[in-house]
């Protein structure tokens, strides 16, 4: 598959920039770091050991980098049309060829790193990364735009646990919680760009629903994720679980009340961090 071509030449690079700086900004560093940290922490929680957790984190990091660079490369024409000053490619901070090469190199590196965790684990992770690339290249502008996020996030716990001896699958409640969180993150992440997306022909599900309904749906999906984490495991709900539900409910209200800007997406990342803390406390009970 190939990325978009035929863009207008990017503007001159900003002073003090460089290839490394441009690539670091174009990889979507915040979500990439958050997902990598989540996977690494989960690997520690289920007992993968230092080496297993390190390989898991490196594989996820490579996959996330490839997805981020692919996304900015494919979006270059639209970012130029809407004058996005926060996109290194659009302001000439890095050349398109460099981003294309980096995305492909990270994708190639992701393959052996994923398979080093075991064939089933590697297949699960590569399916998730493939879903994210499919979003970038085709599904972003369709009503199924949420599906790659749900699939990629839902398979992340499987990538972690399938690398254990015996290749056990994670409990369904954990995969459901991850999938709901991924779908919620999609709606929250798109909120600030809905008008620009519509102006450039992107009609994913959030764009079709509009900012208000998408903000409400983002909150409900994240709340559903927290409910699955708290109510899914056997045993009574802990005080931490009740606190997590309260924080998530507040996040849902925030996303519904303030659908513009990056606040809903950053709030979703905060909830994800709280989810990770809950998973770390459960440890071996996750497999």
Residue 207 is part of a domain; what is its CATH number? Answer: 1.20.120
Contacts 24+ apart (CB under 8 A), 242-246: 244/271, 244/274, 244/275, 244/278
Domain stop point among 144, 161, 180 = 144
Is the domain of 207 the same as that of 126? no
Q: Is residue 10 part of a domain?
A: yes
pTM of the predicted protein model: 0.87
Is the domain of 131 the same as that of 220? no
Q: What is the mean pLDDT of the chain?
A: 87
Interacting residues of 269 by C-beta distance below 8 A, sequence separation 6+: 30, 31, 34, 185
Per-residue tokens: 120: 């089933």
3-state secondary structure of 7: coil
Q: Is residue 158 part of a domain?
A: no
Owner of token pair 């984190």: 57
Maximum mean pLDDT: which of 13-22, 108-117, 177-186, 208-217? 108-117
- Give the tens place of pLDDT for each residue, 36-47: 998 998 998 888
Per-residue tokens: 93: 């901070």
Is the domain of 131 the same as that of 190? no
Distance CA 47, CA 197 (A): 42
Mean pLDDT along residues 127-148 = 97
Contact assessment for residue 209 and residue 146, using Cβ atoms and an 8 Å cutoff: no
Is the domain of 177 the same as that of 282? yes
Q: Is residue 283 part of a domain?
A: yes
Distance CA 17, CA 214 (A): 36
Give the chain's domain count. 2
- Give the tens place of pLDDT for each residue, 11-41: 444 444 588 999 999 999 989 998 999 899 8
Is the domain of 30 the same as that of 73? yes
Fill in the DSSP letter of residue 15: T
Using CA of residue 136, residue 35, residue 56, residue 88, what is the dihedral sign?
positive
- By residue range, what is the domain housing residue 120? 1-144
Distance CA 47, CA 210 (A): 43
Is the domain of 109 the same as that of 181? no
């Amino acid at each position: 598959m190939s990325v978009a071509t035929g863009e207008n030449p990017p503007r001159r690079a900003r002073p003090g920039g460089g290839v490394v700086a441009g690539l670091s900004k174009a990889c979507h560093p915040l979500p990439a770091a958050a997902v990598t940290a989540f996977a690494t922490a989960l690997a520690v929680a289920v007992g993968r050991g230092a080496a297993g957790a390190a390989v898991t984190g490196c594989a996820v990091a490579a996959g996330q980098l490839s997805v981020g660079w692919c996304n900015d490369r494919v979006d270059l024409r639209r970012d130029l049309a809407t004058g996005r000053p926060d996109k290194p490619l659009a302001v000439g901070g890095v050349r398109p060829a460099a981003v294309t090469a980096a995305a492909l190199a990270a994708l190639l590196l992701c393959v052996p790193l994923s398979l080093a965790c075991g064939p089933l684990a590697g297949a699960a992770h590569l399916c998730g990364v493939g879903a994210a690339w499919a979003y970038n290249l085709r599904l972003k502008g369709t009503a199924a735009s949420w599906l790659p996020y749900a699939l990629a996030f839902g398979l992340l716990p499987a990538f972690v646990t399938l690398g254990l001896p015996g290749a056990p699958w994670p409990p369904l409640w954990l995969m459901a919680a991850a999938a709901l969180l991924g779908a919620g993150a999609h709606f929250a992440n798109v909120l600030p760009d809905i008008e620009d997306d519509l102006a450039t022909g992107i009609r994913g599900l959030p764009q079709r629903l509009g900012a208000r309904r998408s903000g409400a749906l983002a909150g409900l999906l994240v709340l559903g994720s927290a409910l699955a984490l708290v109510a899914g495991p056997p045993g009574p709900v802990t005080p931490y679980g009740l606190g997590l539900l309260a924080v998530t409910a507040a996040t849902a209200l925030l996303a519904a009340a303030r659908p513009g800007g990056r606040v809903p997406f950053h709030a979703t990342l905060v909830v994800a961090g709280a989810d990770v803390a809950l998973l770390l406390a459960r440890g071996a009970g996750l497999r």
